[in-house]
Amino acid sequence: MIAAAISATGLFTPPFSISNEELVASYNAYAERFNRENAEAIAAGRVEALELSSTEFIEKASGIKSRYVMNKEGILDIDFMHPRIPDRPNEQLSIMAEMGVAAAKDALTRAGRDARDVDAVICAASNMQRAYPAIGIEIQDALGIGGYAFDLVCGCGSAAYGIATAVDMVRVGRAKSVLVVSPEITSAHNNHQSRDSHFIFGDLCTAVLVEAADVAPPHAWAVLGVKLKSQFSNNIRNNYGFLNICDPEGVGKPDKLFVQEGRKVFKEVVPLVSEMILSHMAELNLAPNLLRRMWLHQANSNMIRLISQRVLGREATEDESPSVLHEYANTSSAGAVIAFHKHSDDLKPGERGLICAFGAGYSAATIFVAKAA
């Protein structure tokens, strides 16, 4: 089996950011208007009043203070509450491909690699803006990469499942250099009219260059082991899909956006993921004290704290389990990669870390890495 390595990561950060204060002000204006317009029905008990959101709740429940978005004005406009992302002509680069190309170029530069050295592209994200042609193939074409490309969709596990797939491709010798690109426009599948989830998400794109260890640059990360696990659950769901146009009743239903049972997700995913990490560590003969850092999926600060505590057998420090939630919010599958990208330069040769993603599906992935000696 050929050894695989992570040669570099790259990031594209959207041009706008929305603070909790701005988002809550918009949601509350929407809720107050709804309550005013429905005052009679609410008083008669026919309609339920909308409760107000609060910045204090958001920060305490999730650790999120701000998020980046591809369009700010549409999300905050209480008559729209979605990002305004107009269709582009087919001849123009798609918005997801545009984000992907920017993140990929960043990763290639950091690896000191030319796009022509890459053999394959996987566009791995929790939602694709169209069915075909694959966004991955569009990114491949825009970068002038030979070989092949495809899309991979698996909720918040997508980026990590993409990295795992790239590692397998390298290990069997199908490719020597694979780009895994994760453009997440989560603001477009979030429901900004739902108090329980309007604050959760942010947009971003990451890129990860996975290569055969013998061609990887000296500062690369050896991949020690990869594990994937999925377990069906309806607790995080998005029913948007091509069959929707076949149901005249279905248009505009809230289940065509992100919906979740947040409490159940919390309760079920924390044990599932911590047990998965511990059993993978046992397989790799890796005691907790040999794990320098965990870059966990960035959904919720309490979840990150609890999972790292179960893995280490004690409370983890911010240095051992860093969070980027305050700045980026939940960027779906890109979250663990952002944490790795932002908080990995200081590790010394030989030190080991864990990239771990989890989310809708449920889907979970553990990728153990070691800084090249």
Q: Which residues bind ligand COA (CB under 6 A)?
A: 53-54, 57-58, 61-62, 156, 195-196, 199, 236, 260, 262-263, 265-266, 299-300, 303, 330, 332, 359-360
Smallest gap from Cβ 182 to ligand COA, in A, equals 13
Note whether 136 and 151 are within 8 A (CB): yes
Our answer to whether residue 156 is catalytic in this structure is yes
Instruction: From the candidates 156, 205, 246, 356, give the one annotated as an active-site residue.
Output: 156
Nearer to ligand COA, 286 or 360 (CB): 360
Smallest gap from Cβ 258 to ligand COA, in A, equals 8
Q: What are phi and psi of 368, to 5 degrees?
A: -90, 135
- Helix ranges, the chain (H): 20-37, 39-43, 55-62, 73-76, 95-111, 135-143, 158-171, 262-283, 301-312, 325-328, 335-342
Nearer to ligand COA, 140 or 186 (CB): 186
Within 8 A by CB and 6+ apart from 27, the residues are 52, 53, 192, 193, 195, 198
Nearer to ligand COA, 53 or 177 (CB): 53
Supply angle C-alpha 40, 42, 48, rounded to 5.
Answer: 155
Residue least distant from ligand COA (Cβ): 262
Query: Per the structure block, which two tokens stand in for 242?
Result: 């091509």
**Using CB atoms within 10 A of its CB, is residue 196 exposed (0-12), middle (13-18) or buried (19+)?**
middle
Within 8 A by CB and 6+ apart from 13, the residues are 68, 204
Nearer to ligand COA, 140 or 308 (CB): 308
Nearer to ligand COA, 16 or 57 (CB): 57
Instruction: Report the catalytic residues.
Output: 156
